[in-house]
């Protein structure tokens, strides 16, 4: 543990960890908001009427996963505002950390479904399956496997 962290009081640690969490969420939120805006506009595009049932299902999965990701990634800020100055920062951090992880998972699912939708629309279901599998695998590896592997090693 770095020397600075060893000298922190419990309150200082909680304050630092909350600031770190909120800063991390500031990075994720613009991406999920842009994806959600894109998905809201898709049904109004002229060619959406040509979408197959599979593409419509992928669209709905992408929309709902992105909606859930948005809800979970914004939840820590709302939780903090509603519990402001109640002296329960440790619980706030525990719950907010879980919300952020779930939100990130939903964001990965929503992005993967969006990749499937676009790839299937432009190419074929086979190409969409390969590209989507690669995208989902990349999300899983970089966002979840590597950090959990590192945690297990420590």
Q: Please, which pLDDT band fits residue 4 given cuts at 50, 70 and 90? A: low
Owner of token pair 């979408």 = 51
Q: Please, which pLDDT band fits residue 1 given cuts at 50, 70 and 90? A: low
pLDDT tens track for 16-29? 988 888 888 888 88
Q: Indicate the DSSP class of residue 61.
A: H
pLDDT tens track for 102-112? 999 999 999 99
Q: What is the CA radius of gyration of the chain?
A: 19
Question: Would you say the C-alpha torsion 113, 114, 119, 120 has a positive or negative sign?
Answer: positive
35 in Cβ contact with 108 (< 8 Å): no
Mean pLDDT across 98-124: 95
Joined tokens for residue 58 = 């992928």
% of the chain beyond a pLDDT of 90: 56
Q: In sequence order, which ranges of the chain are alpha helices (DSSP H)?
A: 3-6, 10-41, 53-82, 89-122, 125-139, 146-153
Owner of token pair 């709905």 = 60
Q: Please, which pLDDT band fits residue 3 given cuts at 50, 70 and 90? A: low
Is residue 63's pLDDT more than 90? yes
Q: Please, which pLDDT band fits residue 125 given cuts at 50, 70 and 90? A: very high
Pick 29 or 74 by higher pLDDT: 74
pLDDT tens track for 34-46? 888 888 888 888 8
Using DSSP's 3-state secondary structure scheme, residue 57 falls into helix
Question: Would you say the C-alpha torsion 59, 27, 2, 87 has a positive or negative sign?
Answer: negative
């Amino acid at each position: 543990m770095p020397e600075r962290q060893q000298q922190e009081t419990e309150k200082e640690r909680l304050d630092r960890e909350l600031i770190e969490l909120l800063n991390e969420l500031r990075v994720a939120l613009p991406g999920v908001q842009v994806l959600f805006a894109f998905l809201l506009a898709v049904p109004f595009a002229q060619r959406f009427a040509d979408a197959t049932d599979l593409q419509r299902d992928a669209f709905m999965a992408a929309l709902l996963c992105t909606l859930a990701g948005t809800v979970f990634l914004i939840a820590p800020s709302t939780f903090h505002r509603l519990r402001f100055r109640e002296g329960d920062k440790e619980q706030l951090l525990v719950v907010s950390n879980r919300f952020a992880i779930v939100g990130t998972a939903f964001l990965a699912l929503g992005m993967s479904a969006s990749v499937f939708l676009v790839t299937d629309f432009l190419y074929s279901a086979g190409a969409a399956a390969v590209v989507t599998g690669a995208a989902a695998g990349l999300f899983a590896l970089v966002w979840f496997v590597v950090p959990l592997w590192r945690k297990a090693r420590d």
